Amino acid sequence: MIMYVFPGQGSQKIGMGSDLFDKYPDLCEKADKVLGYSVKKLCLEDSVRLNNTEYTQPALFVVNALNYHERLNNTNESPSFVAGHSLGEYSALYAAGVFDFETGLKLVKKRGELMGRCEGGGMAAVLGLKEEDIRWVISDNNLEDVYIANLNTEKQIVLSGKKDKIYNAKSYFENAGASAYIPLNVSGAFHSPLMEEAKKEFSEYIDQFQFLEMQIPIISNVYAKPYDISKIKETMVKQMTSSVRWTESIQYVLDRQVTEIIQIGPGNVVDGLIRKIKREYTVKPVINIEESIVETKPVNEVENINTQIHKDNNKENKTDKNVAYNLGSQDFVKTFGLKYPYVIGGMYKGVSSADMVIRASKGGLLGFFGTGGVSINNIEENLKKIQQNLSSNEPYGVNFLHHLDEKIEEQLINLLLNYGIKVIEASAFISITPALALYKIKGLKKQGEQIISTHHVIGKISRPEVAEAFLSPIRENIIEKLLHDGKITSEEASMAKNVPVADAICAEADSGGHTDYSVAYTLLPTMIRIRNRMKETYNYSYDIKVGTGGGIGTPEAVAAAFLLGADFIVTGSINQCTVEAGTSDSVKTLLQKMNIQDTDYAPAGDMFELGAKVQVLKRGLFFPSRANKLYELYRHYNSIEELDERTKHQLETKYFRKTFEEIYEDVKNYYDEDEVKKAEDNEKHKMKLIFKWYLGNGTRLALNGEQDRVVDYQVFCGPALGAFNQWVKGTQLENWENRHVDEIGIKLMDEARLYMNNFINKLN
């Protein structure tokens, strides 16, 4: 197997292509027409302009293309892979047939113009330090605006950033043991977030072009894996701000039995990098070569890892166990129209926002809008926004949070039915309520003798008895009540007795927000066994899918979930520290800095009197301790008047910053007449409403980002985000402004898949 690689900027030299221009006059004529000048004269005579980014990039693209055609004419061989270093990736795209010569040159010309305009940036090569060393130097010394641009070899890494920051960083890397720190003669901070404006303009420009299917797998600089054919434009654009993962790219093909890597184009820079990578790397062969192009296949063509592992365990001959597996259930993927068995759970007060749901859906993930604590009118506005931005076949859902008031549940379900919502995430339920049952029943249809459901319920569950309720048909007394009230038909009532409430359940381990402190390693296997037993009991003709959530913030955690048998995963905490999260920048900055030990448990505002707990951020905040103090006071006293004067003064001046009377006026404006009457008649109930005001106010302060009240922020969060922060430390994702929910999800799944493949290969 052979691979062609194409050099990028830095390989240009006067005289390049001298023996090729006259051999390919048609291509040169097309180039001159697109560029508006003679590319031959540029390469042979104009050394000044040739080293100007605006001219360098198109000149290299042309010369690379001429060398490629010359290679084909001389050998007539077809490579197994192609790749290009930075700019060279466009030559690889051309070689793979993604676009024609003129289109490629137009793209490169625009790219060169945009990058040539960038000023105030700088780059430097660091020799002698590995990637992890580089990241630690950046992190430990708080080197802002310094990024890893090129991972050329294990110990040759190029930094990019603001010019003064790059210059001032030299001593830090030399002190850490770098053998050399070499500033590069460039004006832009290429392959860094500082190229964002150029990236946006290039993204708009590229939209006018249509691309063809690749004929040869192209190893992406961004992902160090083959291009996904569904994301060609996105990947090309993203390359401008992402690191060039050259070392991993070469290692990827070496693992797949590529024996010869041939540079196509001028100079020997790339060739030298490859020789060095080969010397420093021990090949880890992947037996199934077809995995190399798995990114160009639809997800549903790749086998479920759980199914395949069970098959392997039943085989006497296990020689094929080194195949590359996909994670999770492809039935789940197909049912919900996804690319990955990955769910973004609903978060209170619309933190899982409409923007988050839309972004997730566009990325092939299932996102749930968080309705908890959101007014019905606000929910409706967000549903309109989601539906205006998504097509009817793009996946999304709405969170349905259990409420003690059945009227509020029914109001929300009626809204969801009116808007044709096909998927809900039922959370915090301890039993099946009439509203939840109504939603499920109104989606039942007969297809021949089979009952199908067009309304899908995914239950988030942490208790076995609740799982049994979700995995059973709806109780007859609820069905009869709905029938009696005229909310369902007799035919619907009959069908409801033969199907489970849930189409899928998520075994929810300890997580942000409501929690039962469950551990995934005990909870998920238990839920799977309950599912199997209930399927047998009720003779269901299909499997109800079982996924898991809570504590998932790293590839290893994702892999562990699937290894335990999960059909899908649900993430939560990690998504609220993203651009799309519907909370304040102030909260996101706090979350970005948290570690795994930086959470605590506090009373749940919606079930305060029941002693239910939520997990919240504690780093830098007084909220958890203050909320717990309020609950203890509620437990031991029957009214505000029973509190001692010192405690009352502390609550009014430190906790609330309002008098009890002022808070009670707010309470009366918030709750309905029945609730206010209870408070008037019962002093303990009144105290409860005043104390709950503090919890709700903590959420409001956080969502609004009120800087003078940071210590009273209530931020629902689990330790998964701390683990995620550690995983991305020193990378572009360390800053929440670079975090997008779809990219995080896809990165987690891709890295978990690689982790699992390596794990399985080690077992063999």
Amino acid at 431: S
Amino acid at 411: Q
| 423-427/366-369 β-pairing | unpaired
For the CA atoms of 610, 614, 616, 621, what is the dihedral angle to 10 degrees? Answer: 0
Three-point CA angle 607, 626, 576, nearest 5°: 65
Question: Cβ contacts of residue 501 below 8 Å, gap of 6+?
Answer: 432, 436, 437, 440, 457, 459, 469, 470, 471, 472, 473, 474
The answer to whether the Cα torsion of 556, 560, 562, 568 is positive or negative is: negative
> Locate tokens 């269901």: which residue?
540
Query: Alpha-carbon distance 181 to 167, whole Å?
Result: 10
DSSP characters for 338-376? -SSSEEE---GGGTS-HHHHHHHHHTT-EEEE--TT--H
For the CA atoms of 297, 299, 303, 304, what is the dihedral angle to 10 degrees? Answer: 160
Amino acid at 175: N
Of 11, 80, 85, 86, the active-site residue reads 86
Task: Specify which residues 183 forms β-bridges with.
Answer: 124
What DSSP character marks residue 407? H
Amino acid at 678: K
Amino acid at 96: A
CB atoms closer than 10 angstroms to residue 166: 23
Of 91, 160, 191, 456, the active-site residue reads 191
* Contact (CB, 8 A) for 584 and 704: yes
Phi, psi (degrees; rounded to nearest 5) at 122: -155, 165
Q: How far is CA 741 from CA 170, 311, 360, 367, 449, in A?
A: 34, 34, 6, 9, 41
Q: Please name which of 189, 207, 187 lies closest in space to residue 197, comparing C-alpha atoms.
A: 189
Question: Cβ contacts of residue 591 below 8 Å, gap of 6+?
Answer: 576, 577, 617, 715, 717, 721, 736
Q: How far is CA 501 from CA 324, 415, 445, 668, in A?
A: 35, 20, 14, 37
Query: Alpha-carbon distance 60 to 127, whole Å?
Result: 26
Phi, psi (degrees; rounded to nearest 5) at 17: 80, 5
Query: Alpha-carbon distance 695 to 407, whole Å?
Result: 23
Residue 86 annotated as catalytic: yes
Helix (H) or strand (E) holding 628: helix 623-636
Three-point CA angle 291, 296, 302, nearest 5°: 55
Query: Alpha-carbon distance 383 to 219, whole Å?
Result: 39
Centroid of chain to Cα 322: 27
What does the block give as tokens for 291? Answer: 């995995």
Query: Alpha-carbon distance 385 to 350, whole Å?
Result: 13
* Contact (CB, 8 A) for 702 and 587: yes
> Locate tokens 């990098």: which residue?
273
> Locate tokens 């309950």: which residue?
530
Phi, psi (degrees; rounded to nearest 5) at 59: -65, -45
Query: Alpha-carbon distance 561 to 520, whole Å?
Result: 8
Catalytic residues, which ones? 86, 191
